A = this chain, B = another copy of it.
Amino acid sequence: MLKAKVQAEALKNVIDTTSILVDEVKFRINPDGIYLTAVDPAHVGMIDLKLKKEAFEEYEASELELGIDLDKIKGILSLAAPKDIVSLTYEEGEKRLTVQINNLTRKISLLDTTGMTDSKIPSLELPAKIIVNTNELSKGIKASEAISDHIIISADTENFELVAEGDTDIVNLKLTKDALSLLECKETVKSLFSLDYFSDMIKVVKNENIVLYLGTDYPIKMEFDIAEGNGRAIYLLAPRIESE
C-alpha cells in the first residue's frame, strides 16, 4: 500500500535524475521512503537514489516494489507547477499506480519487475574528494563537447582539472584550491570518462555544488542532495581506458 503526497518539483527531480540512465525503473518502497538503483543498458553509469519520507507532505507505505515507466510520470508532472501537490496511491494487487494533481488523475500501468535486477553501488576506495561548483563544471563540459567525446578528470594537491583533447584543439578547465569548496587530495589522480554520460549527469544537478570522488583509472562517484536535503542521489560513472 502507498499513500503519499509530495511537491511536484521533488518528484520531478527524482525522475529527471533517473531517466538519463534508464527508461524504466523499480521503485523500492518501504515505510521510510522510496529507494531506487539502476544501471544503464551499456553498464557505464549507475544511480542510487533515496527519497526519505520527510520529503513528502504525507507518507504512508508498506513494503512494496513498483515497476515504473519514467516517461509516463514525466508526462503528467509536466502539467504541474513546481509547488503543486502530487498524490501517489496504490493498493496491493492493483495493476496501476494512481497519480493525481489537483483535479487531474492518471492511472499508470505498472511494469513487471521480475526482470529488474537490484544493482548496488560497489564500495570503492577513491582517494580524492572534491566539492566543485556545478555551473563551472557545466562550462567546462560544454567547451569540451565541441572538440571531443571524452574527457580527462584529474586532481592533485593544488588543482582540479578537466581536459579534453580534440584533433587540433585543447580545452581545459582548471580550478585551483581557492576556487573549490573542498579539495582533499594527497596524490595525483586521473581518469578518462565518456563526455556524454558525464554531461547528462551534471546537467540534471540543480544544486550549486556537487561532491566528486575520484581515483586513477577508477570510476568517478558524484553525490548530491535532492528534495532540499530530504533525499540524496549518487551517480557512479565507469572510466574509459585510454587508448594510448
Contact = CB atoms under 8 A, between A and B. Distances in A.
Contacts of A168: 96, 109
Interface in A16-30: none
A13 to B, nearest CB: 20
Contacts of A207: none
A169 B103 contact: no
Contact of A109 (B79, B142, B169, B172): B169
B175 A103 contact: yes
Tell me if A's interface is mostly helix, strand, loop or mixed: mixed
Given A96-B169, A169-B96, A75 B143 contact: yes
A179 interface: yes
Contacts of A72: 146, 169
B174 A106 contact: no
A244 to B, nearest CB: 19
B103 A174 contact: yes
Given A72-B146, A103-B175, A169-B72, A139 B109 contact: no
A213 B143 CA distance: 41
A105 interface: yes
Interface of A: 72, 75-76, 78-79, 96, 103-109, 136, 139-140, 142-143, 146-147, 168-175, 179
Given A72-B169, A79-B142, A104-B140, 17 more contacts: A75-B146, A76-B146, A78-B142, A79-B139, A96-B168, A96-B170, A103-B140, A103-B173, A103-B179, A104-B143, A104-B171, A104-B172, A104-B173, A105-B170, A106-B169, A106-B172, A107-B171
